[in-house]
Amino acid sequence: MVSKQNKALTPIKHLMGSSAYCKEGQFLSIDEEYNYLKSERDLHEVGSAIISKISKLKFDQLFKMCLVFAITRLRHVTTQDCLPDILSLGYFNVNNSESSRRLCFWSAEVIPDDIEQARQWAFDYVQHMVTAEEAERFQEEIKGQFASSPAFDNSTSRYGNFMFSFALSDLLEAYQPQHCQNGEPQLRVLGTEMYTQEIAHIVVVHSPDTDLYHDLPRVETVPSTAESLPFIYRPESVQTVL
């Protein structure tokens, strides 16, 4: 059921009607996504649009820094039509489309204080490489461009106007007794999905009793602390990606 990692991109259709390309089992960089799309023989309109947008990106080497955000919270965004069912049932329904394998999707919620700290770190990183005048300009550019993607905006979403936000530790703690009677929740790299408006790196959480995802690699982690679980996000560019 799981595609081999060396297989080419797979065209998919999201439940909400959006077309995309998917690479299972891998988190692709921007360069890798571009190369995969360019090698596709029958590229549909969405793929061509993604190639065009990636081609227009300006990657300044000064801004290619290894910035890391610890993921401690997740959010689930929904529409007014779905909200009453969630409130009345007391749980979140899974997505019933074939491509999503009946999954409930959550997004990483980056804490605003972490974004501000990363902006300051980025400025500290570049200011000693340039003149004082250039450093001042870079500081303004970092404020305007860094983390400007909608993925960092916790007040809005293209998926709906109603948001549920929980600590990742609380979600895993609730998930385990319901689905993992024989062990700990497993986290694996489901893959990369490329849309015209966003690129999604997806982690799947599943019971150790299922064999649906055993061909997928485990999620790489970093040492955890008392305040943070060992899951991280590394933005590839300070500019909005798509």
Burial of 118 (0-12, 13-18, 19+ CB in 10 A): buried
Backbone φ and ψ of 49, nearest 5°: -65, -40
Per-residue pLDDT, 207: 92
- Please state the rounded mean pLDDT for residues 31-44: 87
Handedness of CA 8, 206, 14, 107 (dihedral sign): negative
DSSP letter (8 states) at residue 28: -
- How many CB atoms lie under 10 A from the CB of residue 17? 6
Terminal Cα distance for the chain, rounded: 30
Backbone φ and ψ of 134, nearest 5°: -65, -35
Chain segment 88-126, per-residue pLDDT in tens: 888 787 665 544 467 888 988 888 888 888 888 878 877
Higher pLDDT, 208 or 144: 208
Crossing angle of helices 112-127 and 132-145, in 10° steps, is 160
Cα separation, 40 vs 42, in Å, equals 6
The three-class DSSP label of residue 105 is coil
Q: Is the pTM of this model over 0.85?
A: no
Per-residue pLDDT, 70: 79
Q: In angstroms, what is the C-alpha Rg of the chain?
A: 19
When mean pLDDT is compared across 66-70, 160-164, 211-215, the lowest value belongs to 66-70
Rounded to the nearest 5 degrees, what angle is found at the Cα of 45, between the Cα atoms of 42 and 50? 100
Contact 77, 70 (CB under 8 A): no
CA atoms within 13 A on the CB side of 51: 14
- Please state the rounded mean pLDDT for residues 121-149: 77
Q: The tokens of 104 are what?
A: 């409930």
**Is pLDDT at 23 greater than 90 in this prediction?**
yes
Cα separation, 46 vs 28, in Å, equals 17
Cα separation, 48 vs 52, in Å, equals 6
Question: Which run of H or of E encompasses 134?
Answer: helix 132-145
Burial of 103 (0-12, 13-18, 19+ CB in 10 A): middle
pLDDT confidence tier of residue 233, bands split at 50, 70 and 90 = low
DSSP class per residue in 186-213: EEEEEEEEE-SS-EEEEEEEE-TT--TT
